Structure formats: structure tokens, C-alpha cells
Structure 1
Amino acid sequence: MKLECRIDADAEHELHRHDLLEISVLLENEAKFKLLDREYRGAAGDVFLFRPYEPHYNLAADPRRPIRWILVLFSASVVRLIPGGYRLLYPFYSQEVCPHLPAASPYAARIREAAMAAYEEQEEQLPGWESKQFMHFTDILVNLYRYSLEQAESAGESEPAVDAGVVAAVEHILKHLTEDIDVRELIALYGKGKTCFYSRFRQAVGVTPNRFIHRLRMQVAMHLLKTTELSITDIAFECGYSSIPYFNKHFKQYRDISPREYRNRVRRAM
């Protein structure tokens, strides 16, 4: 997990993308949360989440008034440390959850408070600060998740913002990511048939179940390649692949380089 307090006056900038999950908590002045095909205006206190692979950038609405915000970056694998934490990732993978939390929302207020407390722990570095910071980070994820559930409830009888069956399937995938996942089990969890499941899953998450599984496993693989001394073979097994060539094939499709090349490139850049 990476947590920073940033200041920026850029009103225009090339969009970037990465494989991490990102939360921006705006502290001062007005911002533009710019995505590839749309833009959100943000005020102090607003919270915005960026999903993996989504081109984006935080821009100042007025270059004369720089924005200040807290940036939280983390890998999906970090939720393995949180009891029941897999479900907390749902807002980052559902295209039906609005990524913009206005400051007026009680959830945004709680997220801002937790983010500031997490940053203060990092700055002061008193004994046990890492544990306290992780506690505040968990609080941020819980409030994002509760916000997404409230959106679903407020939808009433209209098209649901969150499909409970898809949530169950996503939770199962995240909980058993390193195991052999049978899509038939996901269909059974959904409970409405194969065609409906594939349609609703792709609508909510943006990709098919198999692509979603491989995408998440690649995130875990990159995290382990960067932060551990585990061998490529051990990382493949840790990510749920029993075949090394199959793991290498998917990694190269995902990153255009082999796992070993990725590890070497990351280490040279550190």
C-alpha cells in the first residue's frame, strides 16, 4: 500500500493508467477527475476511486488554485489480510457503482477522516504506526463498500446498481483466487442460468469471468514479483497456476513481457 499527500496545479496532463486500485481524497480547492471518456468536477471533501487499467488523472480546475489531496494506492492482494476483505473490492470492479463520492455524503466524510488519520500515522511513525495506518485503510474500504450497497438500495425497483448474484460470484472469485475456480460454481451462485450470468457479470464488471480471474491473478503476480524474493514457479503456484508455461503465457499477454523481464525492469527502476 502506498499513501501520499500531493499538491498539483496542472490543469491539463496526459492520462495515465496502472494496475493498482486508487482512491483520491480531495482536501483543498476544486478538481477535475478526468477519465478517458468523461470528467467529474470535485470539491474539497470529495472522494474518487479509480479502477484498475482505467486511464485517468487528477487536474486542478483552476491552475491558480492548486489542489491538495491524499492518494491511496494498493494491490488487490492486500485484502487477504482483512477478515472478509474480498467483498470490499467490489466497488472497484463494478461499472455500476459511481466512482465519485460527494463531500456531502457521510461516507465521504468518514473516508476523509480515516485517510487523514492514516497519513498522520505515516508522518509521525510512532511505535505500531503501520498497524494503525492499516486499520484506517480498512475503514476507508468498509465505507466505500457500504456506499456501494446504499446505492443499490436507493435504486429501489429500478435496474439494481449492484446485482447480488454477481457480488456473490465476485466474492467467490476473490476468496478462491489461487484455487481452481469452476465457472459452473459461479453460475450456481448466481442462480439464474448461464446466459443471464455471463451477461450480467460482463455488464457489472466489464469483462468475462475468466478474463476477470486472469486479470486479478496478474495483479497478484506483479505485486509478488515486485515485493518478494519468491521464484517465478512459486509465484505461479501462489497465483493459482499449476502450469508454468500457462502462467508465462498469460503474463506475457497481459504485460507484453515475461515475468522475469518484469521483475528485472521493476528492480532497475527502484
Structure 2
Amino acid sequence: MRTWAGATRQAFAKGPVTVSSDSVQWSSLLAREAEYTGIDEITTMRVPDLRIGLLRNHVYKLESRSGSMWTTRSYPPGSGYIEPPGSSRPFRWNSRDQPRIEVRTLYLPQQVLSSAAIELQRAGSHRLDRTLEIPFLDDPHLANLSAAVISAVRAGAPEFYAQAAAQWIAAHLLIGPSKSVEWRQSLVRDPISDYRLIRVLEYINAHLYDRLDLRVLSNEAGISTFHFAALFKRAVGTTPHRHVLHLRMEAAKSMLRETDKSTLDIALTCGFGSASHFASSFRRHFSQTPSEYRSLTSNRTPS
């Protein structure tokens, strides 16, 4: 049976935990949910295991420090970060604007990653040769699984479930990131420094459900639509339309999971003219209908 290092247990227990896999005594995977209120900064502890942190329910604007540089990113629901074993990173935010930060964290043993890498190599599958470290992670498959893991903890699932979930996560990460990560990788490799784009990204997050066509966004940047479209795609890795659509889809997914709003209400809230238009867009984005997604995540965590 896997014995967790004391440092991981300490990090796992620290903070205002609302759900913890300690309640079911898992040893193959640690899972927790925590809600931070009334503070402006946390620093993740150095642990010998891979840490996956996913933000819940809202768009959060967080600053993280690497060396002496602070980088600001907006994390929509379900997005987050990956920290390799032995790493630590401080995060800070404005608690007046964001009084509550909700985080779902998974700790994956290094030995699970190593075993998965060996098996994938035997099977001839491509795998990542670098240490996994992703300051901005936007992977709907991993976000969905993390929600299922928390539901399993609440239901008292046995250790066998933890083993299967840990192996799936390891294989998924080693085989490579999903396309939703790939088109945001420029945000990871080269943090955006152009103040015009920073202003536009902040504007999008603050007005996500308003009209956000190319003209509106280019006006916010103060440059021509042609120049803005080229600048945005080069920096962010996708078009403004796809970026806005992705954020709205993630917000819609959160509403389906966390609320009892009708599909039509969610569609109209997220800027779609009809339930059918929303359903077709959702299916293209997540390979399932809104109803199918809601059914699969019916044991949702209360807001």
C-alpha cells in the first residue's frame, strides 16, 4: 500500500478543507476541496507528488510568482495549474473583489506517473519527456474527472476507484495535453505583456455575457480590427471568437453542473439566441449534449 510522505499529508490537511479523501482512506490518490475566504495570498507547500489545482464556479483573477516576477492570469471555472513534485508557488488575489476562492486539488504519486510512463513506452505511445509544469491548465476532460473523483469521495468509493482514477490521470497527462490546452499554450510559454491585450482579456472576463464581437474588442484595445485580430491570435494562440466561445462554454458547463437552471436559461445567459444553437455548440465543444453532461454530473457539489 502506498504511504504518503509527511509533507504531502501536511499540505493536504492545510487550509479550510470542505471535502477530503482522508474520509475514505484512499492511498493511491489524494483529493480535496477547499474554500479560502478573508485572505489575499496562499503558498503551496513543497511535496514529493504531482499537484493539480483546479478553480471552481467562478472566473478568478490570480497572480502567481515565478522567481521575482508576478504574472496575472484569469482562470475560468475548471481551469487551473499543474505543479511538479518538489515545487512551490505563491498565489495572491484581491480579496475585496474575490472574497471566496474555491479550489479542487489532486495529488498524484510520482510512482504512478513513472509506472504509467513505462507502460506507455512499452505500448509505443508518445509521451512527454519533460517534467509536467503547466501554470495555466485548461483541460475539460481532467476537470470533469476531478468532479467525478469528489463525487466518489462523497459516496465513499473504495481504494480501487482511487487506483483507477490515478492511473487514468497519469496516462492522460503523459500522452499529451488536450486541444483546449494546446491553443492556450502561448499563455504558458510567453506571459502576455502587451497592455492592450491584457486590458482586452480583463474586459472579456468582466463582460463575458455581453456582446463581444471583433469591433467591440478592437475598440477596447484601441487598434484596428485587422491588427487586433492578428495580435490576439499570435499572443493567445486562437481567435478572439474562439477564446470567448471557450470561456462561455466553460461557464455554461459550470451552470449545468452547479445549478438547476434550464438549458434555455443557461443558453440565453451565455449569449446564445436559442437552446438549439447552444446545444449544437456545446456538443461540438465537449462531444456531448448539455443534457448528457448534466446527467453524468448529477451528483454535483452545492455552490
Provide TM-score, normalisation by structure 2.
Answer: 0.44
Structure having the larger proportion of residues in helix: 1
